[in-house]
Structure 1
Amino acid sequence: MNTEFDIAETLDVKGASCPMPVIKTSEAVGDLDVGDVLEVLATDAGSMSDIDGWASSTDGVELLEQVDGGDVYKHYLRKTGE
């Protein structure tokens, strides 16, 4: 686990279920500058696979790390392009 990222923004989607964590993440990444890191906090266990799949299939986004914190799942994404 390496959560030593310079986080530009934190998105709190705790309590939201699929597909809202991915939709809100997509919107938040769109508002970032290239190189910025977004931290996403979610309580939906499905967000682990949903955000991974979304990032893998989306140009301009790099999934840096995911942390299963038990009650809260943390996702770290970097905007790599437009």
Structure 2
Amino acid sequence: MERTLSRDLKGLIGKKVLIRGWLHKKRLMGGLTFINVRDRSGLTQILIEDKDETEKLRGMQIGTVVEITGAVVEEPRA
């Protein structure tokens, strides 16, 4: 799968994409985990629902390089 940049996500709603970048921010809020990933074109907010993946994030430092695959969902509040 080819990498998708943050700036190109609006045209890919409902599609599966691969995001690569640096962990910019993480918010571990009970059952929900949100992260922001920064690439050369901007920021992407990502919702992590898998508990094992959330545990991996706990030990990651800001600036860690990450690779994430998932579906693009439009969220007006984000």
Q: What TM-score, normalized to structure 2?
A: 0.37
Q: As a proportion of its length, which structure holds more strand?
A: 2
Q: As a proportion of its length, which structure holds more helix?
A: 1
**Bigger-Rg structure (1/2):** 2
Q: What TM-score, normalized to structure 1?
A: 0.36
